Structure 1
Amino acid sequence: MKEVSGRKMNQRFYDMLEENPVIAAVKDEEGLEKCCSLEDIKVVFILFGDLCSIPDLVGRIKESGKMAVVHADLITGLGSREIAVDFIKKATQADGIISTKPALIKRGRELGMFTVMRYFLIDSMALENVRTLPGGVRPDVIEILPGLMPDIIRNICQDLKTPIIAGGLITDRKSVMAALSAGALCVSSTNQNVWTM
């Protein structure tokens, strides 16, 4: 049953990104208000909040008809253990989670949530880690930061079957188009100007 609901979640995510390949990554109340008012934004990454506020933040995004994905590592009060994902699933209406931690991604998949594994590419060792996901970890998508590396994105897209999101430092149309042309499924950005391109 969870595998079926996971596939439906994947299809919903891809359908939303087909309408607009830009994900609003929100880091504060101002960004949340802005993205909820934008009809073209379909998917929102929540990069702030705490145990008390996250149910409300997710609820507001869902009320605006958007898909809500919570960055589990950035929510104040949540730990780095799998129970953090259980909390997000039970206490909010979140569609999915983002994490740099393989155990959290694995737990999200077990719970039928959409999962985004985030990687910071700071050197060649980090790049190799993307290519060799730990056993049993199968995120729905991988987010690569910074997203301003079209050649690296192209190589990763050729090496992996998992779709790629380009995020971090995406601030203009040229950056968006370079990432998409390199094979990224979409881009995520906290830059509100990118949301309205």
Structure 2
Amino acid sequence: MDQKFYDLFESNPVIAAVKDMKGLADCCSMEEIRVVFILFGDICNLSSIVKQIKDADKVAMVHIDLITGLSGREIAVDFIKDNTHADGIISTKPALIKRARELSLFTTLRIFVLDSMAFENIDRLMSIARPDIIEILPGLMPKVIKRVCSLVKVPVIAGGLISDKEDVMEALAAGAISVSTTNPMVWKM
């Protein structure tokens, strides 16, 4: 992982995950938010969404699986690289993470840890994708966060259902480098 990105995530433990234009405007106006996860948009407006974030001097990470009009194939990563100024992508698909790394984009593999089978699958996903960071969801599982942090050699982000300061502190204490949330009240903490 690039040291600059690692330092950015470590020194900014709350990541704004935006799901609409209002959230985008709100997070872009907040100086304390340095990293933004884009969870909405389509191939027609994605470039302008990324531009707003970059103009606010923030890191823009596109959750490629959630962008309307993009397929789940590697060519979608090429589209992001060639048509936006995004710093990287988020995806649940190892092949897309692998392609993004080939294109020198920053990568976050999102993993839903819903049962023991999903937990046991993390090693396999990591060996295929080799992401810079993994994001585990839901983020309200300190014991699981701790186990994942001891299992992987990359930084871990906790996301999903983070709603207050206690959630943030528990995730960080368990070993997560930061948390991602769509909750604007948490962004302000």
Q: TM-score, normalised by structure 1?
A: 0.93
The root-mean-square deviation of aligned C-alpha atoms, in Å, is: 1.0
- The aligned counterpart of 2:162 is 170
Deviations for 1:64-121, whole angstroms, at most 9, x for unmatched residues? 0000000000000000000000000000000000000010000000000000000111
Deviations for 1:133-160, whole angstroms, at most 9, x for unmatched residues? 2644200000000000000000111111
- The aligned counterpart of 1:111 is 103
Letter in 2 for 1:87: F
Letter in 2 for 1:17: F
- The aligned counterpart of 1:144 is 136
**Aligned counterpart in structure 2 of residue 192 of structure 1, from 167, 184, 187:** 184
Looking at structure 2, the residues matched to 16 and 163 of structure 1 have their Cα atoms a distance apart, in angstroms, of: 12
Q: Which residues of structure 2 form unaligned runs of 5+?
A: none
- Whether the aligned pair in 2 keeps the contact of 1:131 and 1:156 (CA below 8 Å) is no
The count of aligned residue pairs is 189
Looking at structure 1, the residues matched to 174 and 96 of structure 2 have their Cα atoms a distance apart, in angstroms, of: 28
Asked if 1:59 corresponds to 2:79, the answer is no
Asked if 1:101 corresponds to 2:93, the answer is yes
Looking at structure 2, the residues matched to 36 and 118 of structure 1 have their Cα atoms a distance apart, in angstroms, of: 23
Aligned ranges 1:21-170 → 2 under 5 Å: 21-133=13-125, 135-170=127-162
Asked if 1:183 corresponds to 2:175, the answer is yes
Q: TM-score, normalised by structure 2?
A: 0.97
In structure 2, the CA distance between the partners of 1:121 and 1:62, relative to structure 1 (3 Å rule), is same
Q: Which residues of structure 1 form unaligned runs of 5+?
A: 1-6
Of 124-133 and 31-40, more deviation after overlay is shown by 124-133
